[in-house]
Amino acid sequence: MEKTNKKLKRKMRAKSSIRGTKDRPRLAVFRSNRYIYAQVINDEDGKTIVGISEKHLAEKAKATKVERAKALGLLLAKKAIDKKVKKVVFDRRNYAYFGRVKEVALGAREGGLKF
């Protein structure tokens, strides 16, 4: 029960201040046990600008989950910049900024997105 409460507190704390706009859309991360997914979302229109998952990566066979997460961030940044999105707000949901979630953020920063 304590673990659930911590997750809920993190989720509410993050949700209260993060909102994607036309100028700074939201980079939302979802993590499952097997894959990680990321989207760039404009909350004003309710539209997804770019959405990507680990399933889109070509080199996923021998890489670790953390390496694939960083590659996902790089690919997401490339696609977002192609759609003329350079600044985003990072939404980690209820996940701690650690491990795969952190690597997606670092990969997106390396790719050229500004947080």
- In DSSP notation, 26-73 reads EEEEEE-SS-EEEEEEETTTTEEEEEEEGGG-SSTTTS-HHHHHHHHH
Provide the pLDDT for residue 75.
95
Provide the pLDDT for residue 32.
93
What is the fold, at CATH topology level, of the domain defined by 2-111?
A: Nucleotidyltransferase; domain 5 (3.30.420)
Provide the pLDDT for residue 1.
64
Provide the pLDDT for residue 67.
93
pTM, 2 dp: 0.84
Domain segments of the chain as ranges? 2-111
pLDDT, mean of each 10-residue run, the chain (115 residues)? 79 76 91 94 92 85 88 96 95 89 97 95
Sheet hosting strand 36-42, strand order edge to edge: 47-53, 36-42, 26-31, 89-91
Provide the pLDDT for residue 39.
95
Separation CA 7–CA 38 (nearest Å): 19
